[in-house]
Amino acid sequence: MTQTEVVLEEKVNLFQQVQRQIDQAASIMQLEPGIHSILREPMREIRVSLPLKTDDGRLRLFEGFRVQYNDARGPTKGGIRFHPDETIDTVRALAAWMTWKCAIMDLPYGGAKGGIICNPKEMSSRELEALSRTYIDKIYDFLGPEKDIPAPDVYTTPQIMAWMMDEYSKLRGCYCPGVITGKPISLGGSLGRDDATARGGVYVVREAARWLKMELSGARVAVQGYGNAGSFAAVLLGKELGAKIVAVSDSRGGIYNPQGLDPTAVLQYKKKTGSVVDFGGAEFVSNKEILELDVDILIPAALEDQITGENADRIKARVVAELANGPTTPEADKLLHEKGVFVIPDFLCNAGGVTVSYFEWVQNISGYSWPGETVKQRLDARMTTAFEQVLSLFKEYEVDLRMAAYILAIKRVSEVMQLRGWI
What residue spans of 252-371 are helical by DSSP H?
263-273, 287-291, 330-339, 346-349, 352-366
Per-residue 3-state assignment (H helix, E strand, C coil) for 105-174: CCCCCEEEEEEEECCHHHCCHHHHHHHHHHHHHHHHHHCECCCEEEEECCCCCHHHHHHHHHHHHHHHCC
β-pair type (76-83, 110-117): parallel
| Nearest Cα residue to 405 out of 66, 116, 18 | 18
Residue 82's closest CA among 130, 30, 14, 143? 130
Question: Is 113 a catalytic site residue?
Answer: yes
Question: Residue 37: how many CB atoms within 10 A of its CB?
Answer: 12
Helix (H, G, I), strand (E, B) or coil at 416: helix
Angstrom CA distances, 4 to 10, 213, 304, 308, stand at 10, 39, 21, 14
Residue tagged active-site, from 53, 77, 101, 113: 113
Cβ-contact 298, 291 below 8 angstroms: yes
Torsion of CA 379, 385, 390, 394, to 10 degrees: 130
Element (H, E) at 381: helix 372-397
Strands 297-300, 220-224: pairing is parallel
Task: Please answer whether residues 187 and 211 qualify as being in contact, where contact means their C-beta atoms are separated by less than 8 angstroms.
Answer: no
User: Residue 329: helix, strand or coil by DSSP?
Assistant: coil
Q: Please list the active-site residues.
A: 113
